[in-house]
Amino acid sequence: MRIDVLTLFPDMFTGVISNSIIKRAIDQNLVTINLIDFREFSADKHHKVDDTPYGGGAGMVLQVEPVHAALQSIEGYEHALKIIMTPQGVPYTQKQAYTLKEEDHLIILCGHYEGFDERIRHFFDLEISIGDYVLTGGEIAAMTVMDSVIRLLDGAIGQKASHEEDSFSQTLLEYPQYTRPRDYLGMTVPDVLLSGHHERIDTWRKEQSIKRTKERRPDLYQAYMKKTDE
Ligand code: SAM
């Protein structure tokens, strides 16, 4: 997979791409990440990429020309899935991460300032929001999407089963997990997990997943019940 990120703050990505699973995925050539500072595509002598909004109002608006020029500079951009990070986009979910994982080439635009010229939308395929709150820029949102997609790429994490059991993968939250010690300050590991009886462990985990989802996310629980009724 290749991911090109259009951003005014490429340095923000340094920590994410140089650590842990994402770094390993890059080292293993599972993913290539290109950070493109679209300020470099500004025709303005001061490299300005924003301007005041027509009609007045607070804040600055990203201009269409530098974004479009940066987009056109990316080899194969016509065939890539082009995404804008925006609080106005579709709410991001694990299901969407699985869909994006199947793409060969993603281009992600990180907005900044008050917003972007509406005509930028014309050049992109999909708008994604990572939640109902407003960030200062699209970088953290883009990193969220990238991280969630890259960890699903074959070979990125040790066992494929680990992400298949993640919360949301089967519309249920994940069951409680324990590791050593068996007893910590009187809080003990459930006996069933020490039984070595795989069938009983699987049953317990499923029950716990359902219980936890019902308590914490009634919306997901309802969806799960509906699916199992069908
Ligand atoms: N005024 C804009 C609006 O109401 O839609 C918000 C602009 S926000 C300060 C600047 C940029 O941060 C956005 O263009 C977008 O790229 C990014 N951003 C902020 N919140 C986001 C969210 N929840 N999901 C995805 N991107 C977000």
Q: What is the mean pLDDT of residues 219-225?
A: 94
User: Given this model, what pLDDT does residue 160 score?
Assistant: 63
Which tens digits make up the pLDDT trace of 53-70?
999 999 999 999 999 999
Which tens digits make up the pLDDT trace of 91-105?
999 999 999 999 999
Q: Domain ranges in the chain?
A: 2-150, 167-229
For the domain 2-150, what is the CATH code? 3.40.1280.10
User: Given this model, what pLDDT does residue 167 score?
Assistant: 78
Tell me the C-alpha distance between 71 and 5, whole Å.
10
C-beta of 145 in contact with ligand 1 (< 6 A): no
Candidates 38, 63, 85, 116: which one to mutate for ligand 1, based on the most atoms within 8 Å of Cβ?
85
Tokens 């019902």, located at residue: 214
Q: What is the mean pLDDT of residues 128-138?
A: 98
Q: What percent of the chain has pLDDT over 70?
A: 98
Q: Is 127 one of the annotated active-site residues of the chain?
A: no
Q: Which class in CATH covers the domain with range 167-229?
A: mainly alpha
User: Given this model, what pLDDT does residue 23 score?
Assistant: 97
User: Given this model, what pLDDT does residue 94 score?
Assistant: 95
Closest atom of ligand 1 to 128 CA is 25
Tell me the C-alpha distance between 37 and 12, whole Å.
11
Q: Is 65 one of the annotated active-site residues of the chain?
A: no
From the candidates 4, 37, 66, 87, give the one annotated as an active-site residue.
87
Q: Check if the beta carbon of residue 82 is closer than 8 Å to that of residue 124.
A: yes
* Average pLDDT taken over every residue of the chain: 95
Tell me the C-alpha distance between 137 and 9, whole Å.
9
Q: Is 40 one of the annotated active-site residues of the chain?
A: no
Q: Check if the beta carbon of residue 65 is closer than 8 Å to that of residue 38.
A: no
Q: Is 200 one of the annotated active-site residues of the chain?
A: no
Closest atom of ligand 1 to 136 CA is 9
User: Given this model, what pLDDT does residue 165 score?
Assistant: 73
pLDDT above 90 (res 169):
no
Q: What percent of the chain has pLDDT over 90?
A: 91
